[in-house]
Structure 1
Amino acid sequence: MKAGLVVDDGYIYGEAKNLTVRKTSMFFAGDGFTVYDCKGSLVFRVDSYGGPDTRDNDEVVLMDAHGRCLLTLRKKRPSLRRRWEGYMGERSDGQKPIFSVRRSSVIGRCGATVEVYGNGRCEEYLIEGSFRQRTCTVVEADTRRKMAEIRRKVDSSTNVMLGKDVFSLNVKPGFDGAFAMGLVLVLDQISGDDFVEVGEEQVHPGSF
């Protein structure tokens, strides 16, 4: 597999990793998240980024379990399409982004395009499906290889599907889990926009 983005090599796993993502508030598009592994240990967190000051700045910070900043995600302005950029650690003035995410307007292709910068080249991933429905997939643009999947979570004891504030993030071997969670945060931000869903089938605006 070709080398992808490395936010932190501690989050690149040798086997598929199933993470449970819990939205900590439902008042705004994205108030916060906690992310746990299969043993119940905290892996990532995003605290109170839905507050007024943070939302005005259009900036989201992904932290590890100890509060260390892994990624800063920021909406690019101005932009013809809503575009977000990811920065390593705490973003500083003049720092260059390591990846960007933009919505696609090409019907029948994908919901969003991800471009990763580094080593003098640009790698591309596609995000297909519906984040609002918690059913979407990150694939390599050229090989169509699945890198990560977001799915509704089912309670193992009752076999009942849980609400959309709790869902699963499956990270494939060799893909950076911190990068994958950064993409989840961007999707959470753009999912509230009026947007034409594209992927396997066309659906109504606003469903991404």
Structure 2
Amino acid sequence: MMMAKAIIGKVYCSTAQKVLVVRRRPNVVNGGGFVVMDCSAQKVLFRVDGSFVPGKKGDLILREADGGALLLMRPMGGMVQALGVYKKWKGYTVDYHGSRKLVFSLREPNSCLVKNNAIRIFTRSRGCDFKISGYFPDKCCAIVDSKGNQVAQVEIMKEVQEFMESKELYHVVVKPGMDQAFVFGVIAILDYIYGESTHC
């Protein structure tokens, strides 16, 4: 069994592999987003909301099933970011007092000068860094750890593929011990980067 990688919290790590379904919500006034459901239990686990607050463009919030904010993802702005070789995002946990703690950062190549153009994720835990392998818009990609192990796989549901041309419904296979909240925080950022449901 894989050792638990509790980046957001141990409560989001399962001892068994999980197949979770992502369903896109329509882009409406509240900024759109998506819902994550457990296939076996038929219940909502997470919800991702895109920001609709003026001046907060790009802010994403991962919420628990009860609506409580769990993770805030925010793009880094400014001139340095615009001129840099990377675009950066930061992921913060949010507690009930409203205070934030940085838990991961995501780095997306912003220039053709970058030799390795993989999207990389760096966590506060030593030896717990990741990269994206594959292409998210095709719903054919994986989150891979620093040892080369796939910890989560994004795929189109085969049962749905023949009936739907769009990629509004897909599934994510999360390996045992991997933090599901972290996985969907990363997926929320990928969704935004590629102009999908959270991008309004």
TM-score (normalised: structure 1): 0.77
Q: Distance in 1 between matches of 2:102 and 2:175?
A: 24
Q: Is 1:112 the counterpart of 2:113 in the alignment?
A: no
Pair 1:164–1:50, CA change in 2 (3 A): farther
Contact 1:110 1:127 (8 Å CA) reproduced: no
| Alignment partner, residue 40 of structure 1 | 42
Cα deviations by residue, 1:162-200 (Å, 9 ceiling, x for unpaired): 43011111111110000000000010111139xxxxxxx
Residue ranges of structure 2 left out of the alignment (5+ in a row): none
| Alignment partner, residue 200 of structure 1 | none
Q: Residues 154-165 of structure 1: matches in 2 within 5 Å? A: 154-155=158-159, 160=162, 162=164, 163-165=166-168
State which of 103, 109, 117 in structure 1 corresponds to 2:108.
103
Q: Is 1:15 the counterpart of 2:37 in the alignment?
A: no
- Residue identity in the other structure for 1:33: F
Deviation, structure 1 residue 96: 4.2
| Alignment partner, residue 145 of structure 1 | 149
TM-score (normalised: structure 2): 0.80
Two-structure CA RMSD over aligned residues (Å): 2.7
Q: Distance in 2 between matches of 1:192 and 1:6?
A: 26
Aligned pair count? 183
Q: Distance in 1 between matches of 2:51 and 2:162?
A: 29
Q: Distance in 1 between matches of 2:124 and 2:163?
A: 38
Pair 1:55–1:137, CA change in 2 (3 A): farther
Q: Higher relative contact order at CA 8 Å, sep ≥6: structure 1 or structure 2?
A: 2
Deviation, structure 1 residue 67: 0.8
The structure whose residues are more often strand, as a share, is 2
- Residue identity in the other structure for 1:129: G
Runs (4+) off by over 6 Å: none
Cα deviations by residue, 1:23-72 (Å, 9 ceiling, x for unpaired): 101579x721111111321110124x253x26734311101110111111
Deviation, structure 1 residue 3: 5.6
- The percent identity for this pair of structures is 28
Contact 2:51 2:57 (8 Å CA) reproduced: no
Q: Distance in 1 between matches of 2:70 and 2:51?
A: 18
- Residue identity in the other structure for 1:169: V
Contact 2:5 2:13 (8 Å CA) reproduced: no
- SS for the counterpart of 1:186 is helix
Contact 1:71 1:86 (8 Å CA) reproduced: yes
Pair 1:122–1:9, CA change in 2 (3 A): same
